[in-house]
Amino acid sequence: MLVFKFGGASVKDAAGIINLGKVVSLYTDKQLLIVVSAMGKTTNALEKLTKAYVSGADDLHDIYEEIKQYHYNIIGELFDANDPVFNEVANTFVEIDWMIEDEPHDDYDFIYDQVVSVGELVSTRIVNAYLNKTGLKSQWLDVRGYIHTDNNYREGTVQWDKTRESIKKDIPALLAKGIVVTQGFLGGTSENFTTTLGREGSDYTASILASSLGAESVTTWKDVPGILNADPKLFKDTVKFDELSYTEAIEMTYYGATVIHPKTIKPLQNAKIPLLVKAFTNPDAPGTIIKEDGRNHFEKPVIILKQNQVLLSLSAKDYSFISEDHLSEIFRLFAQSHVKINMMQTSALSFTVCFDFDEERFNKLLKLLSESFKAKYNHNLTLITTRHYTPESFKKLTEGKVVLLEQVSRNTAQVVVR
Ligand code: ASP
Ligand code: MG
């Protein structure tokens, strides 16, 4: 049995869905479980919609109409006007229709998950209908009944035992009947509310399903030929890795390589399931394979950029040294606010920390920290991480840039720059 994951870029328009059908048709000799993300930039658009709803913005309905129209245009190209898929899609959007009629009473993160999840619910309806239309027998599965999480909205923690049990109980029989199409990124709580697993979490979904079912492999189909040493949109002369070990892939994703979600690899490593990263435009090309004995061959250093970073410096209000007590209070507040630290450094009088900027969470955190600390911060920074660097390559990366923070170890060098 194979698990395939198709990300947003692979299903961003009608041509993408047609191409997905072609890729899938190459593998019909196997049982297939297909995990699909929201189409194109839908998740970003739904995030915008959530913000507009919660803040009572005037353009709420315009934002929503645009999201709907985008999906209707795609199905308009793929299906006849009387196809049941139009109703399926409309029924899926109804959840949002109802919600935005009322005032937003609930917690932001809760609302976010109920709204944003519609992206995957709709995309999978469309993909499933399209596969059936082309004669590939396919079944739509609501993943929220299988991936069980706690109610930590926007970053649901998977309850592994319960999840594995549910998956193993039902899904093998479905796979024996035909292709199964399901949502990436989503989970469900014990009260049947929707959770999400963190942005770009569809890879993680594929990994949860594959490891629970003992799949032969997972393939994520991308708009790049495999895992490259750097983002080809930002750097020229990138090279592709043919193989990587699980450990190297974990390190790369930990530092922010967006090609795979960081939580994806570990479950696959435990279950000894290889992960292939391949181009959806070139399914016959080998791509990159990540496996236990993957050979790490670094012809060029790995470069990982994380944009939209904040650098926050904290000092005690009474000018005392930064002590273990201060640090433990700071970490407690970061954990409570669900803000993950990307890099940190202590000095006598201050503690400096770099993390992803998320307005909602940042404001909450800053308020909490400001009760005990003086805080200074800079927005709009970039964190550059390079692994297996040479002194020359590191120097070239930072040339002409204002370096605000730097940390260098044998394998990995990190700088925060403006
Ligand atoms: N659609 C979600 C996101 O854009 C999940 C994913 O694409 O993996 O974050
Ligand atoms: Mg995506």
- Which tens digits make up the pLDDT trace of 313-355? 999 998 889 899 999 999 999 999 989 999 999 998 999 999 9
Instruction: Kindly state if the Cβ of 37 falls inside 6 Å of ligand 1.
Output: yes
Any idea what the Cα angle at residue 15 is, between residues 274 and 171, rounded to 5°? 40
Whether the CB-CB separation of 160 and 212 falls below 8 Å is answered with: no
The pLDDT assigned to 233 comes to: 87
The pLDDT assigned to 262 comes to: 87
The pLDDT assigned to 160 comes to: 98
The pLDDT assigned to 299 comes to: 85
The pLDDT assigned to 324 comes to: 93
Strand duo 275-279 + 288-291: pairing: antiparallel
The pLDDT assigned to 259 comes to: 86
Ligand 2 centroid to Cα of residue 85, in Å, is 23
Nearest CA to ligand 1 atom 2: 200
Whether the CB-CB separation of 245 and 291 falls below 8 Å is answered with: yes
Ligand at shortest distance from the CA of 35 = 1
Percent share of the chain, pLDDT over 70: 100
Whether the CB-CB separation of 21 and 130 falls below 8 Å is answered with: yes
357-415 pLDDT, tens digit per residue, is 999 899 999 999 999 999 999 999 999 999 999 988 888 888 999 999 999 999 899 99
Has residue 217 got a pLDDT over 90?
yes
The pLDDT assigned to 105 comes to: 83
**Between helices 118-133 and 85-101, what is the axis angle to 10°?**
170
Q: What's the CA gap between 34 and 215, in Å, rounded?
A: 12
Q: What's the CA gap between 405 and 415, in Å, rounded?
A: 6
3-class secondary structure, 276: strand
The pLDDT assigned to 230 comes to: 93
Q: In the chain, what is the straight-line distance between the N-terminal and C-terminal CA atoms, in Å?
A: 47
Nearest CA to ligand 1 atom 8: 200
Instruction: Kindly state if the Cβ of 40 falls inside 6 Å of ligand 1.
Output: no
Instruction: Kindly state if the Cβ of 267 falls inside 6 Å of ligand 1.
Output: no
Ligand at shortest distance from the CA of 200 = 1
Nearest CA to ligand 1 atom 6: 200
Nearest CA to ligand 1 atom 3: 200
137-185 pLDDT, tens digit per residue, is 999 999 999 999 999 999 999 999 999 999 999 999 999 999 999 999 9
The pLDDT assigned to 186 comes to: 98
The mean pLDDT value for 270-286 works out to 97
Instruction: Kindly state if the Cβ of 274 falls inside 6 Å of ligand 1.
Output: no
Ligand 1 centroid to Cα of residue 345, in Å, is 31
Q: Which helix (H) or strand (E) holds 410?
A: none
Has residue 258 got a pLDDT over 90?
no
- Domains for the chain: give ranges and CATH numbers: 2-291 (3.40.1160.10), 302-417 (3.30.2130.10)
Ligand 1 centroid to Cα of residue 114, in Å, is 14
What phi and psi, each to the nearest 5 degrees, are found at residue 5? -125, 125
Instruction: Kindly state if the Cβ of 309 falls inside 6 Å of ligand 1.
Output: no
User: Higher confidence at residue 258 or residue 418?
Assistant: 418
Percent share of the chain, pLDDT over 90: 88
Has residue 356 got a pLDDT over 90?
yes
Instruction: Kindly state if the Cβ of 30 falls inside 6 Å of ligand 1.
Output: no
Instruction: Kindly state if the Cβ of 202 falls inside 6 Å of ligand 1.
Output: yes
Ligand 2 centroid to Cα of residue 240, in Å, is 21
**Nearest to residue 272, comparing CAs of 227, 205, 207, 185?**
207
The pLDDT assigned to 159 comes to: 98
Ligand at shortest distance from the CA of 10 = 2
Q: What's the CA gap between 229 and 362, in Å, rounded?
A: 31
Q: DSSP states of 162-219 as a string?
A: HHHHHHHHHHHHHHHHSEEEEESSEEE-TTS-EEE-STTTHHHHHHHHHHHHT-SEEE
Nearest CA to ligand 1 atom 7: 200
Ligand at shortest distance from the CA of 47 = 1
The pLDDT assigned to 171 comes to: 98
Number of H helices, E strands in the chain: 13, 16
- Ligand 1 mutation pick, 41, 202, 223, 356, max ligand atoms within 8 A of CB: 202
80-136 pLDDT, tens digit per residue, is 999 999 999 999 999 999 999 999 988 999 999 999 999 999 999 999 999 999 999
Query: pTM to 2 decimals?
Result: 0.89
Instruction: Kindly state if the Cβ of 301 falls inside 6 Å of ligand 1.
Output: no
Within 10 Å of residue 399's Cβ, how many Cβ atoms? 7
Instruction: Kindly state if the Cβ of 7 falls inside 6 Å of ligand 1.
Output: yes
The pLDDT assigned to 319 comes to: 84
The pLDDT assigned to 298 comes to: 87
Q: What is the mean pLDDT of the chain?
A: 95
Has residue 257 got a pLDDT over 90?
no
176-214 pLDDT, tens digit per residue, is 999 999 999 999 999 999 999 999 999 999 999 999 999
The pLDDT assigned to 68 comes to: 98
CA dihedral 153, 159, 160, 165 (to 10 degrees): -120
The pLDDT assigned to 4 comes to: 98
